[in-house]
Chains A and B, each alone.
Chain A
Amino acid sequence: MNNDTTGNFLAADSAVLFEEVFKAHFKSLHIYGMSILKDETAAEEMVQNVFFKLWEKKEQISVNLSVKAYLFRAVHNECLNYIKHTKIVADHRTSAIRSSYESDHATDPAVIKELEKHIASALNELPEQCRTIFQMSRFEDLKYRVIASQLGISVKTVENQMGKALRLLRHKLVDYLPVLFMFLFNLKK
Chain B
Amino acid sequence: MSVVEKNREMSDEMLVKYLLGETDGPEGELVKAWLNESSENRKYFYDFKMVWNVSGKIKPVSTINESEAWARFQQRVATSAAPLKKVPVRSTFDWIKVAAVLVLLAGSACIMYNLSSSRDVKMQPVVQNTRNAEAGPIPINANVPNIKKSDTADSDDRNRISASSNMDGQRPVVSEGRLDKKKHLKVLGRQSKEIFCNSTPCPIEICINQTMKCPNNKPAAISSYSTLEPDQSGELDYKAKDKIAKNCSLTVKDIEIKSVATGEMIILNEHSSPSTAQDLFNYITRRKKGDILAGKFHKDCDNRVSDHDLVFESNSGNWVLQ
Return the chain B residue nearest A143 by Cβ. B22
Q: Indicate whether A159 sits within 8 Å of B69 (C-beta atoms), given known contacts A34-B60, A52-B77.
A: no
Return the chain B residue nearest A164 by Cβ. B12
Say if the beta carbon of B95 comes within 8 Å of chain A.
Answer: no
Return the chain A residue nearest B59 by Cβ. A139
Inter-subunit contact B62/A119 (CB<8 Å)? no
Q: From A13, A102, A166, A170, name the one whose CB has the most chain B CB atoms within 10 angstroms.
A: A166
Inter-subunit contact B70/A23 (CB<8 Å)? yes
Inter-subunit contact A138/B55 (CB<8 Å)? yes
Q: Report Cα–Cα, A100/B48, bound state, in Å.
A: 26
Inter-subunit contact B60/A31 (CB<8 Å)? yes
Inter-subunit contact A184/B50 (CB<8 Å)? yes
From A30, A56, A123, give the contact of B82 (CB < 8 A): A56
Say if the beta carbon of B144 comes within 8 Å of chain A.
Answer: yes
Inter-subunit contact B16/A101 (CB<8 Å)? no
Contacts of B47 in A (CB 8 A): 170, 177, 180-181
User: How far is the CB of A85 from the nearest CB of chain B, in Å?
Assistant: 20
Contacts of B66 in A (CB 8 A): 22-23, 26-27
Q: Indicate whether A163 sits within 8 Å of B15 (C-beta atoms), given known contacts A60-B85, A181-B43.
A: yes
Say if the beta carbon of A4 comes within 8 Å of chain B.
Answer: no
Q: Indicate whether A101 sits within 8 Å of B305 (C-beta atoms), given known contacts A15-B144, A15-B298, A30-B64.
A: no
Which of B1-54 touch A at CB < 8 Å? Answer: 11-17, 19-20, 22, 43, 46-52, 54
Inter-subunit contact B51/A173 (CB<8 Å)? yes
Which secondary structure dominates where chain B touches chain A? helix
Contacts of A165 in B (CB 8 A): 16
Which of B120-156 touch A at CB < 8 Å? Answer: 140-142, 144-145
From B51, B64, B141, B298, give the contact of A119 (CB < 8 A): B51
Say if the beta carbon of A169 comes within 8 Å of chain B.
Answer: yes
Contacts of A100 in B (CB 8 A): 60-61, 63
Q: Report Cα–Cα, A123/B58, bound state, in Å.
A: 10
Contacts of B61 in A (CB 8 A): 31, 100-102
From B17, B19, B57, give the contact of A104 (CB < 8 A): B57
Q: Indicate whether A177 sits within 8 Å of B69 (C-beta atoms), given known contacts A15-B144, A102-B57, A163-B15.
A: no
Contacts of A23 in B (CB 8 A): 66-67, 70
Contacts of B62 in A (CB 8 A): 27, 30-31, 34, 40, 43
Contacts of B48 in A (CB 8 A): 166, 170
Q: Report Cα–Cα, A22/B307, bound state, in Å.
A: 20
Q: Report Cα–Cα, A138/B70, bound state, in Å.
A: 26
Say if the beta carbon of A160 comes within 8 Å of chain B.
Answer: yes
**Interface size class for chain A?**
35 or more
Q: Report Cα–Cα, A26/B76, bound state, in Å.
A: 16
Say if the beta carbon of B93 comes within 8 Å of chain A.
Answer: no
Inter-subunit contact A162/B305 (CB<8 Å)? no
Say if the beta carbon of A167 comes within 8 Å of chain B.
Answer: yes
Q: From B16, B61, B63, B77, name the one whose CB has the most chain A CB atoms within 10 angstroms.
A: B16
Return the chain A residue nearest B305 by Cβ. A16
Contacts of A30 in B (CB 8 A): 62, 64, 69
Inter-subunit contact A102/B50 (CB<8 Å)? no
From A31, A123, A181, give the contact of B46 (CB < 8 A): A181
Contacts of B22 in A (CB 8 A): 143-144, 159
User: How far is the CB of B4 from the nearest CB of chain A, in Å?
Assistant: 12
Inter-subunit contact B73/A48 (CB<8 Å)? yes
Say if the beta carbon of A80 comes within 8 Å of chain B.
Answer: no
Contacts of B12 in A (CB 8 A): 163-164, 166-167
Say if the beta carbon of B100 comes within 8 Å of chain A.
Answer: no
Q: Indicate whether A162 sits within 8 Å of B55 (C-beta atoms), given known contacts A16-B298, A23-B70.
A: no
Inter-subunit contact A52/B76 (CB<8 Å)? yes
Return the chain B residue nearest A158 by Cβ. B22
Q: Indicate whether A112 sits within 8 Å of B69 (C-beta atoms), given known contacts A138-B52, A181-B43.
A: no
Contacts of A137 in B (CB 8 A): 20
Inter-subunit contact A160/B13 (CB<8 Å)? yes
Contacts of A55 in B (CB 8 A): 77, 144-145
Say if the beta carbon of A128 comes within 8 Å of chain B.
Answer: no
Say if the beta carbon of B56 comes within 8 Å of chain A.
Answer: yes
Inter-subunit contact B60/A35 (CB<8 Å)? yes
6 A–B pairs (Cβ distance < 8 Å), ordered by A: A55-B144, A119-B54, A159-B17, A160-B13, A166-B16, A170-B47
**A residues bordering B, Cβ < 8 Å?**
13-16, 19, 22-23, 26-27, 30-31, 34-35, 38, 40, 43-44, 47-48, 51-52, 55-56, 59-60, 97, 100-102, 104-105, 112, 115-116, 119-120, 123, 134, 137-139, 143-144, 159-160, 162-167, 169-170, 173, 177, 180-181, 183-184
Q: Which 4 A-B pairs have the closest CB atoms?
A: A163-B13, A34-B60, A163-B12, A180-B50
